[in-house]
Structure formats: C-alpha cells, structure tokens
A and B are shown apart, each in its own frame.
Chain A
Amino acid sequence: MPAELNSYLLVGAVLFVCGVICMATKRNAIGVLMGVELVLNGANVNFVAFSKFTTLGLDGQVFSLFVIVLAAAEAAVALAIVLNFYNNHLTVDVDRGNKLKG
C-alpha cells in the first residue's frame, strides 16, 4: 500500500472520529448534524483516496458525489425534523427527545 494513501486514510479517520465524538457529546441537535457531516466527509475522503490509489477508478469519485448529494438531502430532512422539534419543545436539546423511551 503506497505511503500517500495512508496519510489520506489518516485524515479520513481523524474526521470520522471527530464527527463521532461530536455526535456523541453534543446535546444541541444542530451540533449532532454537524457531526454527521463530519462522519460522511471522512468517508468521502476515503473514497476519493481509494479511487486515486487503487484500482477502484472513477467509481470511488462518483460514489463520493452520491454521498454528498445524500448528505444534502439528509441535512434537509434532519433540519425539518429539528424545526418541528423546536416548535413542539421550544428547544433543540436532543436529550429532551425521549418520548419514545420504552
């Protein structure tokens, strides 16, 4: 495996871990969404790196484009949910959304 790839993967891993920690620690819903974006982009970095350094070819780049589109869609949906959440609870604290607790 070329040395350059490892550094890309390292960046991707850092982004992923940052995103996960962000999701796990933030109580603000917007913050959680940001964490999600970080996780997705960490994955994107990996896709592009693999397409560049392995036989994956253009497939990896196309796939990362897909992920970006999906992320946009997901953000739109999630923000709509957050807005509604706010309308009902007058807060965006995700810990308050435990109505479905078993």
Chain B
Amino acid sequence: MVGETLKFWLMIAWLLPLAGFVVEIFFGFYSKNPRHSKAAAWCAVGCIGIGFLCSANALRIWGNANEWCVLEAAEHGDPGDTQADAGHHETDSAEHQTAYSGVIYTLGVFGSLEVTLDYYIDSLTLVMFTMVTLIATCIHVFAIGYMSDELTDEYVDHSAHTSDGGHVHRPGRFYRFFAFMSLFCFAMLGLVLAGNIFQVFIFWELVGICSFLLIGFYTERKTASDAANKAFIMNRIGDFGFLIGLMVLWTFFGTFRFGDTVVDEQVVDQGLFSMVHRDGTGNVARDEVTGDVLITDTHGHVLTNEDGSNRQIPYYLLVVIGLGIFAGCVGKSAQFPLQTWLPDAMEGPTPVSALVHSATMVAAGVYLAGRFFPMFVQEVLLTIAYTGCITLFLAATIAMVATDIKKVLAYSTISQLGYMMLGIGVFGWAAGLFHLITHAFFKSLMFLCSGSVIYGCHHEQEMPKMGGLLWKMPITAFTMLVGVCAISGFWLPFGLHFSGFHSKDAIVASALAFIHANPAHFMLFLIPLLTAGITAFYMFRMWFYTFVGKPRDQHVHDHAHESPWVMTVPLLILAAFAWFCAYGGESGHLYLMLTGDEPSHLAADVTAATAGGINLPGHAAIHAVHDDAGRWALIAALSGALIAYVLYGTNVVNVEEIKRQLGGVHGFLANKWYFDDLYDALFMKPAHKVAAFCAWFDGAVFDRILHGAAKSMIVVSKWDRVFDETVVDGFVNLIASATQSVGASLRVVQTGRLRQYVMFIVLGVVALFAVMFTTFPG
C-alpha cells in the first residue's frame, strides 16, 4: 500500500515537468506574444515546485510508514549497530520494507523476457527526488531573472558573429529555455525513479539530449555548438560500454529489474540485486569447480536451468558488466579519461550549468554507480576508486589556474564527482552518495552565485577583470562564501559545521579505513587528502579574486550591480541548505536515511581477503578512524584556504611573479594537462587523416569507377540505340507493313454487294461441310 502511495506522488512529480514541457513549447509556437511573456517560466516553476511538494510528501510518507526506523535506531547506539539494524530492516521486507518496486508499464514481452517501465523507490530515490526538485525549483526561479534579456524580439548576441563581422541578431528564446529545462527535469526524475537498468538507460540518453540542447542554447556561437557536440560524443563513448554491460546482463540474468516485485509477500519477479548472493565477507557465491558466479533466488538458493544444472555467469563477465555500466558513469559524470567535455559545457547559460552540469545530470553517474552497487565486484570497485582518485586530483589542479569563473566551478565539479566515485569505490557507499547530495546544494549555489556575478557584470566571466565586487553585490558574495566554505569542508563550533565538512570527512574516513585494511592502496587516501587542501585553495582563490582586492577593470566594476530578488532569494535558500542540509553529520537525518537502504553486504566488518585481494572495511572500522580523517582533512582545507588568502586576499605576495617562476607547471595546468591536445593528436588528427584519405580515395577511385561506368554506359546505350532502330523497329515495321498489305488485298473482296456476300457465305458453308465430311467421314 505504501509503495502504491509513494509511486502515486512520485509519478506526479515526475510527469508534471513533462506536461510543462509540452505546454511551454506549444505556447511558444502558438501564443501571440511569446517573446515578451514570462508565462512559460511560471509554468515551469509551477510544475517543478509542485513536484517538490509531492516529493517531500512522499518522503514524509516513507518515513512514517517505516516509523523513521533508521533514524530512531541511530539515536541510541553507535553507527555500527545502526547499520546492522538497517541491514536487518532491508532484508526483512515483510516487517519493515524500505524499498518498494513494481511495474508502471509493460513496453514489450519477448517470450519469458519482458521490457518494462518499473519504479524502484527506496530512501536514495526519495532523497534524490527531493534534492533534484528543490534545487531545480530554485534554479528555475533564478533563471527567470537571469534569462530576462531573452524577452525580446531582437536579441543581440555579442559573442556570436556573422560572416560580415557584425553581431548576430535573433528573436529571444525565453520560452524555449524553460521548455528544455522542464524536459530535463522530467528526464532526470525518470532516471532516478527507474526500476530497471534499461529504463535508466532510456532516461540516461534523454538527459543527454537535454544537456546537448541546453549547452548549445546559444547555437549561433561556434564554441557553444562545438561544446554541445563534444559533450554528446564524449557521452556516447561511455554509453557504448553501458550497452555492452546491458547486453551481458540480459544474456545471463534475463532481467533488467533492480528489485524484487513483491505481491502479498510473495516474490513475483526477481530482480537483479537478489540474484548475486554474497556471504558474510562480501564475496559473491561461486561454483566450487568452475569458479563461475552462481545466480541465486531471493533466499540465496541457487537457481537451476531447465536441464538441472546451476545457473551461473563467468566471473569475468560480472566484471565486464560492472566496468561497462561504470563506463557509462564515467562519461556522464565526466570522470577521467572522459572529463574534457564538462568544462566546455560551460558554454550553456549559467542556470543550466547549475542544474545540469553540477547538481543533477553529472551526478547521475554517481547515482547509478551507487544504485548498481550490489552488482559490482571488487575489481570493478577498485577501478572506480582509482578513476575517482585520478579525476579528483587532475581536475583540482586545473581549477587552480583557471581564470574563467565558470571553468573553475566546472573543474571543481569534476573533482568533487571524483570524490564521490572514490567514496563508492572504497566501500563508502553512503559517504559517496552523502557527498552527492551536499555537493548538489553547494555547487548549484556557487554556480548560481557565479551566474549572479556574470549577470551583474554584464556577461563578463573572466575573473582577472573582476575584483572588489564584495559591497557591490553583498548577497551574492556572502552566499558564495557559504558555498566556498561548504565545499572546503569547514568546521564550526556548536555543530554548525558546513555540509561539506561532514560529507568530505565521510569519504576521507572511508578511504583511510580502506588503506588501513589494504596498505598497498595508500594513494587512495593521500591524494584525496592533498586535494582537500587544493579544493580549499582554488575555491578561496576564486572568491578573493572576484570579490575582494582592487577592481581590476574599472568599467566592469562601475557597471556591476546586485541582482534582482528573483535571483537572490534562490541564493539564500540554497545557501541555507548548503550550510545545514547535512546537519548532525553521520548521526544526522540525511546520512541515516541514505544508509537505511545501503546494500546489505556492506554492513560486514573487516573481513578476510576477498577475490581481488581487497579487504572490506566495515562501518566500525570507518567510524574508528573518522576523527583522525576529519582532523587531517580540516588541516588540509585550512592550509589551502590560508595560502589562497595570502596569495589573493592580501598584497603580501606578487602572484604574477610566482606564476612566472612556475611557468612550466602553470602552462601545463592552464592547458588542462594537455588532455584536449592529446585527444586532438590521438583521435581528431587521425580521424582527419583518415577522412582526408577517404576523400582522396573517394575522388581517385570511386569517382573514377563511377565515371568509367558512366562512359561505358554511354557507349552501350549508343549501340543499344542502333539495335533499337534497326532490329526492334524493323521487326515492328515489318509486322505493320505486312498487315497493311494483307488489308489492301482483302479490300478488293469487300465489294459492298450484298448478293455477292451471300454467295460467299454459301460457298463458305459448302466448303466447311466438304472439309467436315472429308475429315470425319461417317
């Protein structure tokens, strides 16, 4: 019953933006005055706002139905107990069911295989729904102000040039922006609600196309359309792996569903998550002879084929599934080595960067990695951890030298996504997703602040032209400071810590516990720790660069102004959430809700060596090192912030001098580790070479063949004409002339004399009789 109610509310929240999209796009086409009306914006805000209320209501219903069991359990006893309890609640579905799944709509049935639209609702789904709808509502409201200069019949795009050197003039596209945003919200919520991996893939592509449309919103700018293409193509590379994973899944498991469909406490359709059974040490159940992984039913009994043999999947294919799905996540979450598209995606309008490219869509990769966690084996998790680790360091170093305010935030996003991936990879499942939620709040906040700055500075994005804007736009500056402190992970007395403090600590603690259990992987702790300092450094650098110091461009400074209330109110709301959403840390509501539906095998404590030679740190192990890790991370963050203050907040040190002295390193970082150039040399140039060769081959070989064929065809047709005129025509003419001469000779007989005809008839009859009697005598 609860499942049905939850489904009802979430379906409303999910489908309203779709309805909004349809209304807005047709409104844009058919209304009399679409270029000057804000109706589309209010429609979008209404849809997503109601969606937020529905989501929050669903969250409340879920909590009441489960008597907030997870939270209550946490209040007495240490987190280790909590986890054991929560795991118990999840497995004991009859008593305290926390995850609900079922079918929404059947797309097709192929024998015993079904393709359906399902829903899978657990605490992660609900938290994601509430987070996405809340942030999207704030961003929609913000965008009403930010996009207001599109409310015109003649928008002059100063960044796009026509062939004669002038600026591009075009009608404003206000309504279209909000239509795309609504479509994106629909797709994103569908992705979160999805109850099977194929459905996830559908919405995965749908958010991809929305991202494409929104990055290329200023399509007249070559940079924007290039960036849109780049984002789309880079994502295709990852999705290729995703598809391979899907195919292997379909072949061996025969279902895409996540959870079991339970009707009257009977499992009707078994989902993927219960098919791979794990023992107390987190190992998957394997055949003793072949080493293949056994596919089990809900209670851990091995399923059998029709011929009585055990159903099993080779271990390496389970790794392929994991790596394939993770490849999709790498593309979507802009992880190494597919990270280059996200900074370019900043060509889109800033609200898009805030919603799509920081808070929600790019986090979908992390969400999927978390959602699909029960299917990941140790090798895959280690890959995830190292990918995240490389990404977070690489992006953070580039962010140190970026000068475009949005590029800094973009690289910061990549880096933070790397943290989340690392968290998931080192068995800190809840830590990674915890950081996903907190990061969504403070990063969307910072993007909106940067949008406010850009709006206030009349579309100036280069930080070297800003400076001293603190009292020109105080609300923006101070909300931005909240975001900066949150991402740096600052500690405050009385438990008023910034949300990033809790979530980043959780990840660093998981990493520390992981390297305690597996000392060989010590880089997985050191690099995130170092990067925590770098994060604080580049974030404070950005803040000081933008808001304090002397104005570096007097023109920009003179015209800068605080944004209108539609833009500042969302900033204040998001700032409150960015600060306090993780209130209470690991005994706070958010974290405990997330851990409530943690994959059950994570609850185990430090265990024996598993297949990949990896030891699993349990919750108790993580908790034991939590204070240490927190202290280290805080020291790193404070020193990073301090360095930033010295370099950019005071005039003690000449930054340009340092930049010149470290010219090599700076150049290396400013060129983004030469990744774009590397890909250019590795893929683009060869592709161009191949294309040039193909063009040459086309001209030299195919065209020649075609021309030769055409020429020979002309010769043949000439000969054919001769044949036609002599033989065919001659034959036809012969028949005609023969007919004519026969007619001419018969004409003589046609005298017109009736009596003669009668004579002919008589003679004919007599002749017939004569013939008849001679032929058939008697």
C-alpha gap A98/B756 in the complex (Å): 12
Q: Are A23 and B753 in contact (CB under 8 A)?
A: no
Interface string of A52-95 (1 = CB under 8 A from B): 00000000000000000000000000000000000000000011
C-alpha gap A25/B762 in the complex (Å): 13
Q: Does A48 contact B (CB under 8 A)?
A: no
C-alpha gap A7/B375 in the complex (Å): 114
C-alpha gap A100/B750 in the complex (Å): 9
Q: Does B493 contact A (CB under 8 A)?
A: no
Closest CB-CB distance, A39 to chain B, in whole Å? 10
Q: Does B76 contact A (CB under 8 A)?
A: no
Q: Does A40 contact B (CB under 8 A)?
A: no
Q: Does A102 contact B (CB under 8 A)?
A: yes
Q: Does B758 contact A (CB under 8 A)?
A: yes
- Chain B residues, Cβ within 8 Å of A23: 755, 758
Inter-chain CB contacts under 8 Å: number: 35
Q: Are B751 and A98 in contact (CB under 8 A)?
A: yes
C-alpha gap A67/B616 in the complex (Å): 115
Contacting B754 at CB < 8 Å: which of A20, A32, A99, A102?
A: A32
Contacting B762 at CB < 8 Å: which of A24, A27, A99, A100?
A: A24
Q: Does B32 contact A (CB under 8 A)?
A: no
Q: Are B759 and A101 in contact (CB under 8 A)?
A: no
Q: Does B559 contact A (CB under 8 A)?
A: no
Contacting A98 at CB < 8 Å: which of B747, B753, B758, B759?
A: B753
The binding surface of chain B is classed by DSSP as helix
Q: Are A98 and B752 in contact (CB under 8 A)?
A: yes
C-alpha gap A23/B759 in the complex (Å): 9
Interface string of B733-757 (1 = CB under 8 A from A): 0000000000000110011111100
Q: Are B762 and A101 in contact (CB under 8 A)?
A: no
- Chain A residues, Cβ within 8 Å of B755: 23-27, 32, 94-95
- Chain A residues, Cβ within 8 Å of B750: 101-102
Closest CB-CB distance, B760 to chain A, in whole Å? 10
Taking residues whose C-beta sits less than 8 angstroms from the other chain, chain A's interface range is 10 to 19
- 62-102 of chain B: CB within 8 A of chain A: none
A98-B752, A98-B753, A99-B752 known; A20-B758 Cβ under 8 A: yes
C-alpha gap A94/B752 in the complex (Å): 9
Q: Are A95 and B754 in contact (CB under 8 A)?
A: yes
Q: Are A101 and B754 in contact (CB under 8 A)?
A: no
Q: Are B759 and A24 in contact (CB under 8 A)?
A: yes
Q: Are B752 and A24 in contact (CB under 8 A)?
A: no
C-alpha gap A82/B746 in the complex (Å): 28
- Chain B residues, Cβ within 8 Å of A101: 750-752
- Chain B residues, Cβ within 8 Å of A99: 752
Q: Are B762 and A97 in contact (CB under 8 A)?
A: no
Q: Are A102 and B747 in contact (CB under 8 A)?
A: yes
- Chain B residues, Cβ within 8 Å of A102: 746-747, 750, 752
- Chain A residues, Cβ within 8 Å of B746: 102
- Chain A residues, Cβ within 8 Å of B752: 97-102
C-alpha gap A23/B755 in the complex (Å): 7
Closest CB-CB distance, A98 to chain B, in whole Å? 3
C-alpha gap A69/B139 in the complex (Å): 102
Closest CB-CB distance, A34 to chain B, in whole Å? 13
Closest CB-CB distance, B518 to chain A, in whole Å? 114
Highest count of chain A CB atoms <10 Å: which of B753, B755, B758: B758
- Chain B residues, Cβ within 8 Å of A100: 752
Closest CB-CB distance, A15 to chain B, in whole Å? 14
C-alpha gap A20/B760 in the complex (Å): 11
A97-B752, A99-B752, A100-B752 known; A24-B747 Cβ under 8 A: no
- Chain A residues, Cβ within 8 Å of B753: 94-95, 98
- Chain B residues, Cβ within 8 Å of A26: 755
Closest CB-CB distance, B745 to chain A, in whole Å? 11
- Chain B residues, Cβ within 8 Å of A32: 754-755, 758
- 3-32 of chain A: CB within 8 A of chain B: 20, 23-27, 32
- Chain A residues, Cβ within 8 Å of B759: 24
Chain A: CB-nearest residue to B754: A94
- Chain B residues, Cβ within 8 Å of A95: 753-755
Closest CB-CB distance, A40 to chain B, in whole Å? 14
Closest CB-CB distance, A14 to chain B, in whole Å? 15
Highest count of chain A CB atoms <10 Å: which of B746, B752, B753, B754: B754
- Chain B residues, Cβ within 8 Å of A97: 752, 754
- Chain B residues, Cβ within 8 Å of A35: 758
Q: Are A20 and B747 in contact (CB under 8 A)?
A: no
Highest count of chain B CB atoms <10 Å: which of A20, A94, A101, A102: A102
Chain B: CB-nearest residue to A32: B754
Closest CB-CB distance, A79 to chain B, in whole Å? 16
- 701-749 of chain B: CB within 8 A of chain A: 746-747
Closest CB-CB distance, B408 to chain A, in whole Å? 105
Chain A: CB-nearest residue to B748: A102
C-alpha gap A23/B746 in the complex (Å): 23
Q: Are A24 and B758 in contact (CB under 8 A)?
A: yes
- Chain A residues, Cβ within 8 Å of B747: 102
- Chain A residues, Cβ within 8 Å of B758: 20, 23-24, 32, 35
- Chain B residues, Cβ within 8 Å of A20: 758, 762
Closest CB-CB distance, A29 to chain B, in whole Å? 8
C-alpha gap A32/B755 in the complex (Å): 9
Chain B: CB-nearest residue to A95: B753
- Chain B residues, Cβ within 8 Å of A94: 753-755
C-alpha gap A24/B759 in the complex (Å): 6
Besides the known contacts A24-B759, A95-B754, 9 further A-B residue pairs in the complex with CB atoms under 8 A apart: A25-B755, A27-B755, A35-B758, A94-B753, A94-B755, A97-B752, A98-B753, A101-B752, A102-B746
Q: Please list the residues of chain B having a beta carbon within 8 angstroms of any beta carbon in chain A.
A: 746-747, 750-755, 758-759, 762
Return 14 A-B CB contacts under 8 Å, by A number: A24-B755, A24-B758, A26-B755, A27-B755, A32-B754, A94-B754, A95-B753, A95-B755, A99-B752, A100-B752, A101-B750, A102-B746, A102-B747, A102-B750
Top-6 shortest CB links A-B: A98-B752, A101-B752, A102-B750, A94-B754, A102-B747, A23-B758
